[in-house]
């Protein structure tokens, strides 16, 4: 960027947003700090306000509690009630943080919204693109697979080219009053588990039912399908000579299916359509590249994306462990983020 701009910073009071704000200030831009009021309580808001005061920037609270509840929390609850494992951050970014908060920033006369995501941006042939963050451990491109071109053109990510250790070093250099801890993956869960949260939020939580093996033999009872996720081992309440894992959740039968680790592997997955493509349109099919099936999927896996009479299908070069409906399959060409879609089902390898 050249010349001074009026920019908004999504400020939480944590180290990432605070360092992002200071880096933007160092470039000479006028900054307004926006705090997303999502119902987190007074402590976080006060921490963010104190940080804005320390940085000497205007501070405004944007009340997004209602849309956050309807678009993120309701989605989270309904997904678990269907036996899926949702990813609220993937939904929140295009709808709330890089959606409504960005809209507010633009209405205030700001040219862009700055966030603390670890992701790099560039333009290729007039198309706004995202690349993985330089820090492979902190790369957050997975969570931004739902963004659109009109959003990308008004977003800035100052931390994408930095390691987390460098961000902490900058925080010390700037003498920022931030704690060293990491933020929670799901901001609205506080200290409880998803099951505890859902028990409070769902008017009619899923009922207890049978835990069965892949042959349908009853091995125990579950507390409600919303308390379980694919790959789970702990908390099953059943004993067996070898470790058992949740390998499937059958919502219509109200069953949790368990089996040995080998039964967790799947060779294909199906996507809910339409998938989202950052460039506005998807790659030519068949496409080959790298696919992540969860945020902590390290480098992802080699796969081919095709279309058949049932829709979009991802076939992996090697079967993948614990493919989970409700999570997102996110597509990469080298380190370039292409887009992603919600996983709706998976298929075992052929015998």
State the DSSP string of 18-59.
Answer: HHHHHHHHHTT-EEEEEEEESS--HHHHHHHHHHHHHHT-EE
pLDDT at 207: 93
Taking a C-beta distance cutoff of 8 angstroms, is the pair 47, 22 a contact?
no
pLDDT (tens digit, 9 = 90+) per residue, 218-263?
999 999 999 999 999 999 999 999 999 999 999 999 999 999 999 9
pLDDT at 182: 56
Give φ, ψ of 95 to 5 degrees: -85, -40
pTM of the model: 0.94
Find the helix or strand (DSSP H, E) in which 328 lies: strand 328-333
Residues labelled as active-site residues: 92, 187
- The rounded distance, in Å, linking the Cα atoms of 201 and 54 is 37
3-state secondary structure of 143: helix
Which residues, listed in sequence order, are joined to residue 34 by a DSSP beta bridge? 10, 60
Closest C-alpha to 98, from 126, 55, 128: 128
pLDDT at 153: 97
Q: Roughly what angle, to the nearest 10 degrees, separates helices 42-55 and 15-26?
A: 20
Taking a C-beta distance cutoff of 8 angstroms, is the pair 119, 139 a contact?
yes
> Considering Cα of 263, then 265, then 269, then 275, what sign does the dihedral take?
positive
Per-10-residue mean pLDDT of the chain, 351 residues long, equals: 82 96 97 95 93 97 97 96 95 98 98 98 96 97 98 98 97 87 67 81 90 96 95 94 96 97 97 97 97 93 96 97 98 98 87 51
Instruction: Tell me the longest C-alpha to C-alpha distance in the chain.
Output: 69
Tell me the pairing of strands 6-10 and 112-114: parallel
pLDDT at 1: 43
pLDDT at 186: 75
Burial, 351: exposed, middle or buried (Cβ in 10 Å; 0-12, 13-18, 19+)? exposed
């Amino acid at each position: 960027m050249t010349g001074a701009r009026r920019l908004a910073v999504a400020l939480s009071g944590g180290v990432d947003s605070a360092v992002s704000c200071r880096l933007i200030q160092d470039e000479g831009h006028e900054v307004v700090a926006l705090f997303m009021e999502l119902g987190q309580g007074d402590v976080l808001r006060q921490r963010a306000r104190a940080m804005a005061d320390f940085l000497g920037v205007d501070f405004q609270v944007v009340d997004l509690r209602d849309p956050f509840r309807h678009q993120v929390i309701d989605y989270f609850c309904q997904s678990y009630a269907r036996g899926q494992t949702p990813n609220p951050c993937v939904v929140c970014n295009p709808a709330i943080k890089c959606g409504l908060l960005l809209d507010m920033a633009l209405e205030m006369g700001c040219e862009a919204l700055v966030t603390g995501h670890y992701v790099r941006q560039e333009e290729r042939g007039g198309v706004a693109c995202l690349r993985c963050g330089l820090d492979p451990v902190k790369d957050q491109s997975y969570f931004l697979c739902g963004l659109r071109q009109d959003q990308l053109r008004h977003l800035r990510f100052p931390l994408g080219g930095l390691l987390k250790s460098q961000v902490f070093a900058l925080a010390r250099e700037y003498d920022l009053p931030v704690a060293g801890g990491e933020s929670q993956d799901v901001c609205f869960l506080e200290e409880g588990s998803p099951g505890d949260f859902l028990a409070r939020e769902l008017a009619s939580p899923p009922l207890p039912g049978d835990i069965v093996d892949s042959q349908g033999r009853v091995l125990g009872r579950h507390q409600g399908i919303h308390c379980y996720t694919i790959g789970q081992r702990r908390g099953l309440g059943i004993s067996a000579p070898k470790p058992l894992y949740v390998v499937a959740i059958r919502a219509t039968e109200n069953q949790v299916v368990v089996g040995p680790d080998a039964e967790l592997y799947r060779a294909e997955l199906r996507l809910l359509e339409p998938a989202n493509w950052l460039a506005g349109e998807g790659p030519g099919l068949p496409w080959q590249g790298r696919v992540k099936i969860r945020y902590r999927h390290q480098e992802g896996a080699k796969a081919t994306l095709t279309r058949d009479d049932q829709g979009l299908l991802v076939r992996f070069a090697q079967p993948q462990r614990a493919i989970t409906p409700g999570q997102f399959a996110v597509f990469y060409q080298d380190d370039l983020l292409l887009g992603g879609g919600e996983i709706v089902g998976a298929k075992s390898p052929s015998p």
